[in-house]
């Protein structure tokens, strides 16, 4: 949704909490610790007291919003901004939009991307599969120039990581960060739970277009990605389709 639509739907923090409670509990709050539905509302604190295990809890327990001191509206808006950005959004831009510092924005983005990666449903229909190599951040070598400044490694000295992607022709995509040794035919077939090759329309244009958008997103937004966090970014890639055209997004 647009920013205007967002603020119309969630004008206050209470609206955000009500939305979470409707999605998670659908009108019947239950303790996340003992699963009991016997509780006493603590309206001023927006929490509940469990009559079974005698603990208090809120709807944010066990979610990406747990123990956060940041306003829920900013969390919700951050999710909206990341989802709406065709080439994703970097931490500095997110910090400016939400009026938070860069470290807070980066922390939020990492949590949100990890939540995106929790989709475990199998892909269906015609699925295309391909892999690419993503370059990590260049590091400095031990050699120094005349000014005693470390020289950057040459292009061939920069580590790369392999990423495997599968995409539904008219749906979503799944991306996996794999070691180069895992890119064998035998190991790649392990990703495919059901194999039935189609005779017509054999092409990989959909996944190749997605990889193009991924690379542009890295260059335009993130510039460089540490291989240490590549799994977080790669597993949160998203593929959005419309009725008239296909739009790739790196979230």
On whether the CB atoms of residues 159 and 121 are closer than 8 A, the answer is no
Residue 192's domain comprises 127-140+156-250
Residue 48 is predicted with a pLDDT of 96
Q: Is 35 a member of any domain?
A: yes
Q: Is 5 a member of any domain?
A: yes
The dihedral over CA atoms of 169, 171, 177, 179, expressed in degrees to the nearest 10, equals: -30
- In 3D space, the residue among 157, 99, 96, 162 whose CA is nearest the CA of residue 131 turns out to be 162
Q: Is 122 a member of any domain?
A: no
- pLDDT of 251 > 90? The answer is no
Cα–Cα distances in Å, from 211 out to 1, 87, 190, 216? 25, 12, 21, 9
User: Beta partners for 103?
Assistant: none
pLDDT, one tens digit per residue, over 161-213 is: 778 888 887 767 777 776 666 677 777 777 677 666 656 677 888 888 888 87
Identity of the highest mean pLDDT range in 25-34, 139-148, 189-198 = 25-34
Mean pLDDT confidence for 70-83? 91
100 with 171, same domain: the answer is no
| C-alpha span between 182 and 190 (Å, rounded) | 10
Contacts of 95 (CB under 8 A, 6+ apart): 101, 102, 104, 105
Residue 47 is predicted with a pLDDT of 94
Percent of the chain topping pLDDT 90: 31
72 with 177, same domain: the answer is no
112 with 4, same domain: the answer is no
Q: Provide the number of structural domains found in the chain.
A: 3
Phi/psi at 67 (5° precision): 60, 20
Residue 242 is predicted with a pLDDT of 35
Q: Is 24 a member of any domain?
A: yes
19 with 57, same domain: the answer is yes
Q: What's the mean pLDDT when you consider all of the chain?
A: 78
170 with 228, same domain: the answer is yes
Cα separation of the two ends of the chain: 15
On whether the CB atoms of residues 218 and 134 are closer than 8 A, the answer is yes
Residue 78 is predicted with a pLDDT of 92
């Amino acid at each position: 949704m647009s920013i205007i639509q967002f603020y119309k739907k969630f004008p206050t923090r209470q609206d955000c909490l009500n939305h979470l409670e409707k999605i998670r509990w659908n009108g019947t709050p239950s303790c996340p610790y003992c699963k009991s539905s016997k509780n006493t509302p603590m309206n001023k604190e927006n929490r509940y007291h469990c009559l079974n295990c005698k603990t208090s809890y809120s709807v944010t327990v066990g979610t990406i919003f747990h123990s956060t001191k940041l306003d829920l509206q900013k969390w919700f808006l951050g999710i909206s901004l990341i989802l709406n950005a065709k080439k994703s959004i970097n931490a500095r831009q997110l910090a400016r939009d939400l009026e938070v510092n860069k470290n807070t924005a980066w922390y939020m983005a990492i949590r949100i991307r990890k939540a995106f990666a929790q989709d475990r449903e199998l892909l269906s229909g015609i699925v295309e599969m391909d892999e690419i190599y993503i370059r990590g951040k260049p590091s400095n070598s031990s050699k120094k120039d005349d000014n005693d400044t470390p020289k950057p490694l040459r292009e061939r000295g920069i580590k790369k990581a392999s990423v495997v992607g599968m995409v539904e022709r008219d749906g979503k995509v799944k991306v996996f960060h794999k070691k180069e040794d895992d890119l064998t035919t035998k190991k790649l077939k392990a990703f495919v739970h059901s194999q039935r090759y189609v005779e017509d329309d054999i092409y990989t244009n959909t996944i190749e277009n997605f990889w193009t958008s991924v690379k542009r997103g890295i260059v335009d937004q993130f510039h460089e990605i540490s291989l240490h966090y590549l799994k977080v970014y790669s597993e949160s890639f998203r593929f959005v389709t419309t009725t008239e055209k296909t739009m790739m997004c790196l979230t």
